[in-house]
Amino acid sequence: ASFSLLCFRSPLVSPLIFGLLLQAPFMQPSPLTQPNFVLLLADDLGIGDVGCYGNDTIRTPNIDRLAKEGVKLTQHIAAAPLCTPSRAAFLTGRYPLRSGMDAINDYRVIFWNAGSGGLPPNETTFAKILQHQGYSTGLIGKWHQGVNCESRNDHCHHPLKHGFDYFYGMPFTLISDCQPTETPEMDRAFRRKLWLSTQMIGLMTLTAVLGRLTGLISVRWKTLTCLAGFSLLFFISWFSSYGFVRYWNCIMMRNHGITEQPMVTDRTTSLILRESISFIERNKHKPFLLFLSFLHSHTPLLTTEKFLGRSRHGLYGDNVEEMDWMVGQVLDAIDKKGLKDTTLVYFASDHGGWLERQEGKRQLGGWNGIYKGGKAMGGWEGGIRVPGIFRWPGVLPAGTVIDEPTSLMDIFPTVVHLAGGAVPQDRVIDGRDLLPLLRGTVAHSEHEFLFHYCGVHLHAVRWHQKDTGAVWKAHYVTPIFSPPGAGACYDRGFCPCFGEGVTHHEPPLLFELSQDPSEAKPLSADTEPLFDTVMRRIGRAIEEHRGTLTPVPEQLSVSNVVWKPWLQPCCGTFPFCWCDKEGDN
């Protein structure tokens, strides 16, 4: 009886089970299909400032938890050592000079909200592709990629033109000028020269008037009137911009509307955190991309009262610990909404810490650990090697450390592929999809060469020799530290890219980073048998790389970075720009 029953069931059950097995993949989407993305990018954070990268005095338990639960990259490289170009590369997956977002002059970042330069409208960001894939895309925090092109409201460089559905934050970057109690930071040396010139012209005019009144000199009143008019015009020409930096640059926006002009810094941190968590809550039932672009840990180091005095590293340490707490709040929001297993979280910094940023004996910039150099230095590791952490439970192996060359530009293809999109085929994409490396299905990074620029000037090249595991790095140009041996350009505030402040090396300085990560012992033909072979191979790579570059408009040219009153975002009738809509609420 049992045999006949079994025989009776088999023709019915077997096809049913087989059909269910066939249907299973269609009924349950692959976990690798369209995860949520939460991209956390710190500002000016040094790799040596984070606990899981070796710091044992600044407490970063939430960032450390990300590393413990995910994958930590130890050779994660920014495409540029300054904010604007590095972030352009991050968003587009391309070296910034391909989009015109690196400078041939000393103005290496966007200087004004009312400049006309910025991320070109024809560039494609990962947000724009994800938007087309059905994602809700949000940017909270810092932008620093420009606002307008030709008129006050054309918003040609605005985040909403580059694939973000929602924006809340600073279209510019945080600077000390935003804090009334702090010493002005923006173009400080140039501002001093303008003040000095104004005083000299004014003194000359006053002397001429007194001389005419006392009869010591013979000069016509018409000439004196013209001289006084010139003095006044000269003063107005620069004070109308530099005298109101806080009003022109320190503003907060929600989408296209200005909410605070100037920003009220006491509540900025809480508002950015509130907006980030609110975005997650609003979009928990559909795939989303949240790019949380921190204002921490850039000067003036806005830190709420409950974190002041908590660290052993003064205000800078307090600020980093507050940012870590914000990371924890975002992670908690993800967990509480049941999104942990379907969300890829990424944490990094846009470039290395700012060594020269000091006020008296206070160190206001970050620490880059064992790596030489810092912010603004195109070649030295301290300016470009940054934290890089990925977490995606169940997909990425927890507690993994990868010591392979990777780039912030890799986020573009990685995110695009996971979202089901395709990278553009009509342009060079310099980033590489990191998922195989992160999952452990391949042993080596796809990057064989990485090119390290300072502005548009090539300073160094990294060659990952995969068959031997060696990581060679050749420096063609290095900044001249001042004072000598100080490890930074303390007398300038920033190290330059060209001119009298740099040294050109022939032959280049060569290091093997896997043996000498601090770049302390340059190799030579006498000490390294492979010196000539390595230099020839790197030389060929440079030629091939330059063959892929095409001329593009310079977004950071002097004409694009100067303040243009007709482009100034204004909450009111220009020049009476003031509002506090957050306070009104």
Distance of CA 252 to the CA centre of its chain: 18
Q: Which of 83, 454, 489, 497 is catalytic?
A: 83
Is the Cβ–Cβ distance between 53 and 387 less than 8 Å? yes
Cis peptide before 507 (omega within 30 of 0): yes
99's CB contacts (< 8 A; 6+ apart) are: 88, 92, 119, 120, 123, 552, 555
Q: What is the 3-state secondary structure (H, E, C) of 24-45?
A: HHHHCCCCCCCCEEEEEEECCC
User: pLDDT value at position 21?
Assistant: 40
Residue carrying the six token digits 């160190």: 363
Q: Give the global pTM.
A: 0.92
Q: Return the closest-CA partner of residue 423 out of 124, 138, 86, 162.
A: 124
83 catalytic? Reply is yes
Q: Which of 7, 52, 132, 144 is catalytic?
A: 144
Can you tell me the distance from the alpha carbon of 451 to that of 433, in angstroms, rounded to the nearest whole number?
Answer: 18
Structural tokens at position 498: 């060209």
195's CB contacts (< 8 A; 6+ apart) are: none
Can you tell me the distance from the alpha carbon of 446 to that of 452, in angstroms, rounded to the nearest whole number?
Answer: 17
Pairing of strands 449-454, 457-465: antiparallel
User: pLDDT value at position 5?
Assistant: 31
C-alpha triplet 481, 172, 554: angle, nearest 5°: 70
Fold of 36-174+250-580: Alkaline Phosphatase, subunit A (3.40.720)
Can you tell me the distance from the alpha carbon of 481 to that of 494, in angstroms, rounded to the nearest whole number?
Answer: 10
Give kind and range of the element (H or E) at residue 66: helix 61-69
Is the Cβ–Cβ distance between 489 and 81 less than 8 Å? no
298 catalytic? Reply is no
9's CB contacts (< 8 A; 6+ apart) are: none
Q: What is the pLDDT of residues 71-130, one digit of tens each?
A: 999 999 999 999 999 999 999 999 999 999 999 999 999 999 999 999 999 999 999 999
Structural tokens at position 158: 């605005």
User: pLDDT value at position 10?
Assistant: 41
Give kind and range of the element (H or E) at residue 471: strand 470-479
Residue 240's φ and ψ, nearest 5 degrees, are -65, -25
Is the Cβ–Cβ distance between 416 and 380 less than 8 Å? no
Regions in the chain scoring below 70 on pLDDT: 1-31, 585
Can you tell me the distance from the alpha carbon of 328 to that of 339, in angstroms, rounded to the nearest whole number?
Answer: 15
Can you tell me the distance from the alpha carbon of 552 to that of 92, in angstroms, rounded to the nearest whole number?
Answer: 15
166's CB contacts (< 8 A; 6+ apart) are: 136, 137, 138, 139, 255, 279
User: pLDDT value at position 20?
Assistant: 38
Can you tell me the distance from the alpha carbon of 301 to that of 306, in angstroms, rounded to the nearest whole number?
Answer: 14
C-alpha triplet 118, 123, 126: angle, nearest 5°: 110
Q: What is the pLDDT of residues 498-557, one digit of tens each?
A: 999 999 999 999 999 999 999 999 999 999 999 999 999 999 999 999 999 999 999 999
Can you tell me the distance from the alpha carbon of 467 to that of 226, in angstroms, rounded to the nearest whole number?
Answer: 73
C-alpha triplet 486, 491, 493: angle, nearest 5°: 100
512's CB contacts (< 8 A; 6+ apart) are: 470, 471, 472, 473, 523, 528
User: pLDDT value at position 186?
Assistant: 86
Which ranges of 243-308 does DSSP label H, i.e. alpha helix?
245-249, 268-282
For residue 483, CA distances in Å to 30, 357, 369, 370, 491 come to 57, 15, 20, 20, 7
